[in-house]
Amino acid sequence: MSGNRRDFIKFVVAGAVTAGCPVDLSLLGQSGDAPKSQADVDGEDNRICHQVRDKGNQIFSRPPASAHHDVVIVGGGVSGLTAAYRMQHRDALLLEKEPHWGGNAYAMEFEGSVYGTGSAFLSKDEYAYSFAKEIGLNPLPIDSPDASILRGELILDTWGDGLNKLPYPPLIRESFKKFKKEMMGIDLEKRGRELFNVPFSEFTKLYPAEIKQWWDAYGPSNWGATGEDTAAAVAIGELQQMAAESRSDDRYTWPGGLGAITHKLAEILQPKYGERMQTGATTVAVVSGKEEVQVTYVVGGEPRTVAAKAVIMATPKFITRRIVDGLPEKQSEAMKQIRYIPYPVVNLIFDKPVFNHGYDTWCPGNAFTDVVVADWVIRHESGYQQKYNILSCYTPMKEDDRGYLLNEIGARKIAANVLRDFKNLMPGMTVDPIEVHIYRRGHPLYMSTPGLYTRVQPLVRQSMDRVFFANTDSEGPESTTNEGIRAAQRAVKQAEARLAGRTAPKEKAVAG
């Protein structure tokens, strides 16, 4: 793409980036070949979050409680919305720092065409599938085993029939088949606990680099980590599911991904409970007393405090541990151990068909890991015509590169690199989009590291007397919408028990 042509492509930068750890701001000066095209920048001001990160919640004044509720739910992503949905019979206040509901399960639109910014799909055997039906959504089948683009060739059903068509020398193709056979032969029921505590790289290190490269694209996109930082049981279980001989693609979604669930939950709640649903509200302190919990949040630049008989923290633990007062030391340390990756999604918007070959296609060795066709599940509906071919390029980043997301220059550089690599994937794809949208997220996905599921998460979700912990990073072994919903169900059950005068049961370590 010429410099002059690039100037006409509109880059739209959106999404809030809450930094949970110090970043090297000198990175932002390394603009490289970032495009000079027109850009829109949208996203919340994170100064409050950064102040909590750097100085703790003690820098904020805590005015007296101005209202009392049965429950305060902090966080309006899928976990918080689910908790609110389950507690509609209570006087519940829901607080969300973003200007919209949905968290990481959030969809956007371009001239009526919906596209995702994360949280792509669910499986039929997950609780989220039946939950979606409960709230009035009909999950749409994907029916498209994952493909890969390798050395310029599209390989359908990569870990099925595609292994016979890999564009590699015969010895490497055979290594892929041998690796698959070895992984399929592992009994996860018997070896689960062991394999949740060792890295996946122990299984890939004796195989060709092409196998590691494929999994080092797949892992960060799905569970936030390359082989060295992945609990082996997570990756092995994923391969066994993908490559099972009797398998069928049991994944489901909607245009815009699982943002359909959070949109529907907000739609259900707002008509009746809208006055108790506050966006733009950044919680800065949660302080327990003998009879109640006081929650202080900032809205419109002003601090407010409310009191509740119970609080559900549906927030990531790197935030939770900084604002919940009195956390036990071991629990706070466990929360600190959870690592999160920066994870933007770059949407390429074309006004003509460019790539419609499969729902999710893996592209190892590029600036992005995989590309999802936004309208895949409705493309065959009667009367549907694809006006825009919107391709969501999932772009997980290294932890140390988080600083690139903090300003327009860095974000546009990421988007430009994605567009460059996309256009070089295969013949016929050197097409300019009409717009490039990058949705930034600083810490959306926790890393499924060895020991996290068996040792860390059981400690993380231990309830306090009147404070209960939800969010996707409370469950495991992967960060999914399903786990966010399950975490909410557990936290609601614990909160209801406490409101009834009973003590919530203690969590135990994972067996297995």
Composition of the chain by helix, strand, coil, percent to 5: 40, 20, 40
For the chain, first and last CA: distance in Å?
53
Q: Of 459, 484, 476, which is closest to residue 313 (Cα–Cα)?
A: 484
| Domain ranges, residue 306 | 50-104+258-338+447-499
Separation CA 307–CA 311 (nearest Å): 9
* DSSP-assigned letter for residue 369: S
Rounded-to-integer distance, Cα 475 and Cα 504, Å = 17
Distance CA 125, CA 263 (A): 22
pLDDT score, position 329: 97
28 located within any domain = yes
In a domain, 96, yes or no: yes
Q: What angle do CA 35, 402, 20 make, to 5 degrees?
A: 140
Decide if 116 is inside a domain: no
Which CATH number goes with the domain that contains 372? Answer: 3.90.660
Of 248, 276, 294, the domain-final residue: 248
Shared-domain flag, residues 397 and 415: yes
Residues 453 and 435 occupy one common structural domain: no
C-alpha dist (Å) from residue 76 to 72, 96, 488: 11, 5, 11
441: its two tokens: 């997220």
Q: Output the pLDDT for position 51.
A: 58
CATH of the domain at 86: 3.50.50.60
User: For position 61, what pLDDT does the model report?
Assistant: 81
Q: What is the C-alpha to C-alpha distance for residues 35 and 414, in angstroms, rounded to an integer?
A: 10
Task: Give the residues of the chain that fall short of pLDDT 70.
Answer: 1-7, 16-60, 245-246, 504-512
Q: Note the pLDDT of residue 470.
A: 98
Q: What is the pLDDT of residue 509?
A: 47
Among 198, 217, 248, give the residue marking a domain's end. Answer: 248
d(CA 180, CA 195): 17
Give this prediction's pTM.
0.91
Q: Is the dihedral of CA 256, 473, 45, 304 positive or negative?
A: positive
Residues 305, 383 within the same domain: no
pLDDT tens digit sequence for 103-136 = 999 999 999 999 999 999 999 999 999 999 999 9
Among 248, 276, 304, the domain-final residue is: 248
> Total domain count for the chain?
3
Strand partners for 373: 391
Q: 190: which residues sit within 8 A by CB, 6+ positions away?
A: none
Do 353 and 436 fall within a single domain? yes
CB 388, CB 349: distance < 8 Å: yes
Q: How far apart are CA 397 and CA 342, in angstroms?
A: 5
Mark whether 435 and 348 lie in a shared domain: yes
Domain match, 385 and 244 both: no
* Confidence (pLDDT) at 502: 86
